[in-house]
Amino acid sequence: MKIFSFTRLAFMALAVLATPALVSGAGAADTPAASVKLGDLVISDAFARATLPGAEVGGGYLTIINNGSAPDRLLAATSPSAKKVQLHSMTMVGNVMKMRPVVGGIAIPAGGSVAFTPTGFHIMFMGLNAPFAKGSQIPVTLEFQKAGSVKIGLAVGGIAATAPAAN
């Protein structure tokens, strides 16, 4: 009797443990990959922040790794989700926030990486067609000088998300 119940308990535990794996496995087919490869470039950790009601702008973030031996350059980002998309840098100079459009693109060094984070570069969406809702995906096309273009989905997290939501 005792052995039977332990066995049953083990099966139940296994079932519970397996559930999230099955769910995330099923979901993976519908959502764009969390990481995209384009030649020597790997783009990962793509996310956006949910926008507050009334906000006309939103920020998108990702990491670009260059595994190649030649530098590349991110020239532009476009998206059907906003009227205008720009590449911006945000810096805190003393206690002053300064945001600037990046002129001439962003260099992705050979063998290096560039991270867009809420304390550095961001993809600036201006004139949103709809508020960025948590849990949705914002499609973005990135245009590189050498590698060409690639489409990626930014997973929308919370209003102050600092990283993609863990799956």
Q: Where along the sequence are the contacts to another protein (CB under 8 A)? A: 49, 52-59, 84, 86, 88, 90, 92, 95-101, 118-119, 122, 124-126, 158-160
Say how many residues make up the chain.
167
- Which residue, 5 or 95, is less far from another protein as judged by CB? 95
- Which residue, 54 or 135, is less far from another protein as judged by CB? 54
- Which residue, 27 or 127, is less far from another protein as judged by CB? 127
- Which residue, 29 or 97, is less far from another protein as judged by CB? 97
Tokens found for residue 46:
């793509």
DSSP state at residue 31: S
CB of 29 to another protein, least distance (A): 31
CB of 45 to another protein, least distance (A): 16
- Which residue, 35 or 86, is less far from another protein as judged by CB? 86
Burial zone of 138 (CB within 10 Å; 0-12 exposed, 13-18 middle, 19+ buried): buried
- Concatenated DSSP letters of 89-139: EEEEETTEEEEEEPTT-EEE-TT-EEE--TTSEEEEEEEESS---TT-EEE
CB of 152 to another protein, least distance (A): 18
CB of 103 to another protein, least distance (A): 11
CB of 120 to another protein, least distance (A): 9
CA dihedral of residues 78, 34, 39, 104 (deg, nearest 10): 30
Distance CA 88, CA 61 (A): 11
